[in-house]
């Protein structure tokens, strides 16, 4: 691997003492590969049964697994079906310790590329709402793609700096994740290019940024709510130092114990003559020479009730300010002709999705159709990439369903399904965007084993009973509707 900066090595000698040499030996060794099962689509037991990979459980994350490099899960159709997220094992920990529950209002403040956001969205189980934010537009788009891949229907993807969201949502969220931008020391062996970035912007730069972010996050947290702060760096300036500073600035914030694991190490008490808050002993560190994972810092905090009258007044001002920026709502309800066109496709929806045909929660923005089960927020002046489920596009005299819609559906919610086994070579052709011949297939009615002949029309394409996308059957030919921007290269 790339030579490590001497300044970094000196700080690690001070932190680790007698453990320094064992750390350095392990740190220069091989990296670990992990995936986290999407439990909103498949149980971990079922995934273990159908998976073709060499899996070993990550012992401290209930739905996390190690895999071998040669498995190459990113190229498997199961990846395109959103059955798992590829994630370094240590990075799975924060979302597993925040304990998101169905019905929570959840914010992932620095969410891209989506590892923590997809995990928390799965924990919501379709109830409550996730606001997933990233300040960088390109990264926010990657975040949106991963949430769509996971089939998440209750997310609001925003692209704002933290102070803007803090204006809009004072004491609004039950749970907040702050996986803070950091110097990335824990990723040096995974991505040697991070070393060059560290030399340009190191712990001093990032600790100032992190202090700003955590204050905004704390102000958006409800009394009694919980916030998780994490980084993938070893620097105490970015870890215990930031948490100690937060506790000074926001006395209502308290560190609380998290679900522990025998390999976790307690936070350190001092560094370079600076003594940290004594409760930092309840924070946790993941060291690569103690566990099979990269470096990570973990802190779980809770907000106590506050009766600060001045703060309440400031929150009211923030709400008023936010309302003053409200943008005009350009969405409309579908008209009679639009309903007729959409309903040709909606007639194929089954189960709970059949209720969407009431159109109570359907909106049209331009030529795009969305399902928005409730008005998400009172404040409209937020730059968002997605609010609601993108169902598809209104074309001339027809409705074209979207790929995100396909990934929300299943064999239980769509009448016409075409089943492929994971080793059927036609799946790779489908994911490349090619037309398929399917004269040998039969469709199976949702929830039954009654086979029926193929009829022309829209079909949900399934790999081992999990949705991949749409196709339109004409005779024995399946016209591929897998969008160009999603296609895989084999």
Question: Using an 8 Å Cβ cutoff, are 48 and 55 in contact?
Answer: yes
Report which of 323, 164, 303, 198 is spatially closest to residue 247, judged by C-alpha positions.
303
Q: Residue 174 to residues 100, 102, 211, 425: CA-CA distances in angstroms?
A: 9, 11, 21, 46
Q: DSSP per residue over 16-37, as a string?
A: HGGGHHHHHHHHTS----EEEE
Question: What per-residue string of b and e applies to 97-121 under the rule 16 or more CB within 10 Å gives b?
Answer: bbebeeebbbbbbbbbbbbbbbbbb
- Tokens, residue 148: 């769509």
What residues contact 398, with CB distance under 8 A and at least 6 apart? 341, 344
Q: Residue 61 to residues 65, 94, 163, 463: CA-CA distances in angstroms?
A: 8, 10, 32, 26
Which residue spans within 134-261 are E strands per DSSP? Answer: 155-158, 173-179, 221-231, 253-255
Going by the DSSP 8-state scheme, the letter that residue 70 receives in this structure is G
CA dihedral (409, 414, 416, 419) positive or negative? positive
d(C-alpha 267, C-alpha 282), whole Å: 7
Q: 132 in helix, strand or coil?
A: strand
Q: DSSP per residue over 148-176, as a string?
A: HHTT--SEEEE---HHHHHHH-TT-EEEE
Question: Using an 8 Å Cβ cutoff, are 239 and 210 in contact?
Answer: no
Cβ neighbour number for residue 467 with a 10 Å cutoff = 24
Q: DSSP per residue over 289-322, as a string?
A: TTSSS--EEEEEEEEPP---HHHHHHHHHHHHHH
Report which of 439, 486, 485, 478 is spatially closest to residue 461, judged by C-alpha positions.
478
- Tokens, residue 74: 């990113």
Q: Residue 337: in which H helix or E strand, if any?
A: helix 336-346
Catalytic residue numbers read 232
Task: Decide: residue 368, CB within 10 A, 0-12 exposed, 13-18 middle, 19+ buried.
Answer: middle
d(C-alpha 386, C-alpha 408), whole Å: 15
């Amino acid at each position: 691997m790339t030579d490590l900066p001497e300044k970094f090595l000196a700080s690690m000698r001070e932190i680790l003492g007698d453990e320094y040499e064992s750390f350095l030996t392990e740190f220069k060794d091989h990296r670990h590969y992990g995936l986290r099962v999407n439990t909103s689509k498949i149980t971990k037991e079922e995934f273990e049964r159908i998976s073709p990979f060499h899996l070993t459980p990550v012992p401290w994350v209930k739905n996390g697994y190690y895999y071998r490099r040669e498995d190459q899960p990113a190229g498997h159709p199961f990846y395109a079906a959103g059955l798992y997220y590829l994630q370094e094992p240590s990075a799975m920990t924060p979302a597993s310790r925040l304990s998101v529950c169905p019905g929570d209002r959840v914010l992932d403040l620095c969410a891209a590329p989506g590892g923590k956001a997809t995990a928390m969205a799965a924990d919501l189980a379709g109830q409550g709402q996730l606001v997933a934010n990233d300040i960088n537009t390109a990264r926010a788009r990657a975040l949106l793609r991963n949430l769509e891949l996971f089939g998440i229907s209750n997310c609001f993807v925003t692209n704002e700096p933290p102070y803007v969201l803090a204006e809009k949502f004072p004491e609004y969220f039950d749970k907040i994740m702050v996986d803070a931008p950091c110097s990335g020391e824990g990723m040096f062996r995974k991505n040697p290019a991070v070393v060059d970035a560290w030399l340009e912007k190191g712990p001093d730069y990032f600790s100032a940024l992190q202090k700003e972010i955590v204050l905004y996050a704390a102000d958006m947290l409800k009394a009694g709510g919980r916030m998780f702060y994490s980084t993938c760096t070893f620097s105490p300036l970015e870890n215990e130092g930031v948490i100690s500073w937060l506790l000074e600035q926001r006395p209502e914030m308290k560190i609380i114990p998290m679900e522990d694991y025998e390999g976790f190490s307690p936070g350190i008490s001092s560094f370079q003559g600076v003594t940290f808050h004594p409760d930092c002993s309840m924070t946790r560190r993941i060291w690569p020479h103690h566990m099979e994972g990269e470096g990570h810092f973990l802190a779980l905090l809770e907000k106590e009730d506050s009766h600060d009258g001045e703060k309440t007044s400031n929150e009211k001002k923030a709400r008023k300010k936010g309302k003053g920026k409200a943008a005009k709502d350009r969405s409309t309800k579908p008209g009679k002709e639009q309903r007729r066109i959409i309903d040709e496709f909606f007639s194929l929806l089954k189960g709970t999705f059949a209720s969407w045909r009431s159109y109570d929660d359907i909106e049209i923005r331009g030529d795009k159709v969305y399902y928005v089960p409730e008005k998400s927020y009172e404040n409209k002046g937020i730059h968002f990439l997605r609010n609601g489920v993108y169902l598809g596009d209104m074309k001339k005299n027809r409705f074209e369903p979207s790929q995100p819609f396909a990934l929300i559906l299943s064999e239980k919610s769509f009448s016409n399904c075409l089943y492929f086994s994971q080793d059927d070579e036609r799946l790779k052709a489908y994911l490349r965007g090619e037309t398929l011949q399917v004269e040998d297939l039969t469709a199976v009615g949702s929830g039954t084993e009654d086979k029926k002949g193929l009829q022309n029309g829209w079909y949900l394409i399934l790999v081992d009973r999990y949705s991949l996308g749409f196709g339109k059957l004409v005779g024995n030919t399946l016209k591929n509707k897998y969008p160009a921007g999603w296609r895989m290269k084999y």
